[in-house]
Amino acid sequence: MKKLLVLLYGIIVYALFFSSFLYLVGFVGNLFVPKSIDGLVTVPLWQAMLTNLGLIALFGLQHSVMARGWFKAWWTKFVPEPIERSTYVLFTVFALVAIFLFWQPMGIVLWSIDEGMFYGILMALFALGWTIVLVSTFMINHFDLFGLRQTWLYFLGKPYEPLKFRIHIFYHYVRHPLYLGILLAFWAAPEMSVARFVLASGMTIYVLMAIQWEEQDLIKEFGQKYQEYKKLVPMLIPRLIKKQAVKKEEHSLS
C-alpha cells in the first residue's frame, strides 16, 4: 500500500507540474489563459514592481536552494528519499502558482509588433524556446527530473541509481539548452510590456546564477568529465559547427 501511495504521489505531482508548465506558456505569451502577464492595471507601478520582483525572487530561491546538496541532506531527514524529488517539484508548482495568482500587470508597452515577418519570427522563437525546454528534459531524463522515475523504482522495489554523464543531441552544442530555451521563450515577444520585461530580466539573472551553482554540483558529481565537457561546449550560445576533433572528444565523454 505504501509503495502504491508513493507512486500515486509522484504521478499527481507530475500532472500538477505539467499543467503549470502549460499554463506558464500561456501566461508569458498572453495566450489562452484567464490571467496572464499583462492585463488590467490595479495597483501603482511601484507596488506592482515590488510584488513582481518578490515573486521572481521566491521562485529563484525555491528552485535553487532546494536543489542544492546540503539542503537535500537536511531535507531527507524529514522527507523520504523516494519522494524527495517529487516534493521539490511540488514546491516548484507552488512557486509558479504564486506567480500566476499574485502577478501584477504594469501597463506600459515597450514595443509592439502586430503583424508581418518580424511578428512571425518572434512567435516562432517563442514556440521554439518552449519546445527546446521540453525536449531538453527528455535528453537528460524527463521522468527522473520530475520525480516519477524515483517513485516508480520504489514501487518496483528497486534501488535508485543516479543518472550517468551522457551528452545527447542539444548538449553537443550548448551545455544548458533548457536554460537557453527559457531565455528564448521569455524574450521573444511581439509585444514587450514592462511586466514581461521585468519577468524576462529576472529570469535571465536567475538563469545566470543557477548555472553557476548547478555546474559546481555537476563538477562535484562527475569531476574531470564535466570539467572537460565545459572546455568543449559553450554555456548558452550554441556552437553550430563542430570540428571533427571536438566531436571525437565529446563522444569519448558520453
Does 247 have pLDDT greater than 80?
A: no
Q: Which residues constitute the domain of residue 72?
A: 2-253
User: Residue 140 has what pLDDT?
Assistant: 87
Give 248's pLDDT tier (boundaries 50, 70, 90): low
Does 246 have pLDDT greater than 80?
A: no
Give the cell for residue 198: 521585468
Q: What is the mean pLDDT of residues 167-186?
A: 93
Average pLDDT, the chain: 90
Does 70 have pLDDT greater than 70?
A: yes
Angle, helix 177-187 to helix 117-140, in steps of 10 degrees:
150
pLDDT tens, position by position, 142-159: 999 999 999 999 999 898
Tally of structural domains, the chain: 1
Give 163's pLDDT tier (boundaries 50, 70, 90): confident
User: Residue 13 has what pLDDT?
Assistant: 97
Q: How would you class 17 by CB atoms within 10 Å of its CB: exposed for 0-12, middle for 13-18, buried for 19 or more?
A: buried
Q: Cα–Cα distance between 26 and 32 in angstroms, integer?
A: 6
pLDDT tens, position by position, 77-128: 899 999 999 999 999 999 999 999 999 999 899 999 988 889 999 999 999 9
Q: Cα–Cα distance between 223 and 216 in angstroms, integer?
A: 10
Does 20 have pLDDT greater than 90?
A: yes
Question: CA Rg, the chain, in Å?
Answer: 20
Beta bridge partners of 193: 109
Q: Cα–Cα distance between 189 and 29 in angstroms, integer?
A: 8
Angle, helix 84-102 to helix 45-65, in steps of 10 degrees:
170
Q: What is the mean pLDDT of residues 203-229?
A: 91
Give 245's pLDDT tier (boundaries 50, 70, 90): very low
Angle, helix 194-222 to helix 177-187, in steps of 10 degrees:
180
Give the cell for residue 22: 502549460
Helix, strand and coil content of the chain, in percent to the nearest 5, comes to 70, 5, 25
Quote the pTM value. Answer: 0.90
| DSSP single-letter state for residue 131 | H
